[in-house]
Amino acid sequence: METLKEVVMNVARVAFLVLCLCACSSTKPATITPDPPAAAPSARVSVPLPGEWTTWSHEKKKDYMKATVVLAEKGLWANYDPVRFANLTCKNCHGSGVADGTYRMPNPDLPKWPGGADAFRELKERNPKALWFMQQVVVPVTARLIGVKEFDFASHTGFSCFQCHVRG
C-alpha cells in the first residue's frame, strides 16, 4: 500500500509530465496565457543539461522559462493551493524583477527564510503541508527544470530554499 507521500509524489510526477507534454505541443490550451502579456519565446528551448543553466544567456533563460517552466510551475502551485495560485505568473516568483527585466533570484519580495534546523522545525510544526510541498515537490522539480542538482542535506550543496528566498 502506498503512503500518502508516495501518492502525492506520483500525482506530482504525472502532472509534471502532462505539463511538459503540453508545453511541447504545437497548440496550448486557451486558458494558459502569459501574464503580464509578453511576446512569445523566440524559439523552443530544450531542458538544460546539468550545469548548463549558468552558461545560458538571459534571453535564452527567459524563453525557456516562458515556454516550459511557467507551465510546469503553474500546475504544481495550482495543485497545492488552487485558489491562491489560480493565476501564477512570473511575478509570483520573481517579484519586482519582472518590472525591471532582471528576474533576479533570490527574490527579496518573497518571504524571508532564516533556514537552519530551528526554522525547519518551526515550519514543520506551524505548516507541515508547506514544508513538505517545498522540499518534496518545488525544490526537486524546479531543480530538474533548470538542470541543476537538487539540494543535498549531507553536503549542503545544490538547489535550495535560498535560490528563491533571501535569508532573513
Question: What whole-number distance in Å separates Cα of residue 86 and Cα of residue 79?
Answer: 9
pLDDT of residue 115: 86
Report how far residue 92's alpha carbon sits from residue 36's, in angstroms, rounded to the nearest whole number: 11
Task: Give the residue carrying C-alpha cell 531542458.
Answer: 47
CA angle 76, 30, 142 (to 5 degrees): 20
The kind and range of the H/E element at 17 are helix 4-24
Kindly list the averaged pLDDT for each block of 10 residues, start to end, along the chain of length 168: 46 48 42 40 71 93 93 93 93 94 93 90 93 93 93 90 92
pLDDT of residue 168: 87
- Cβ within 8 Å of residue 130, ≥6 positions away: 123
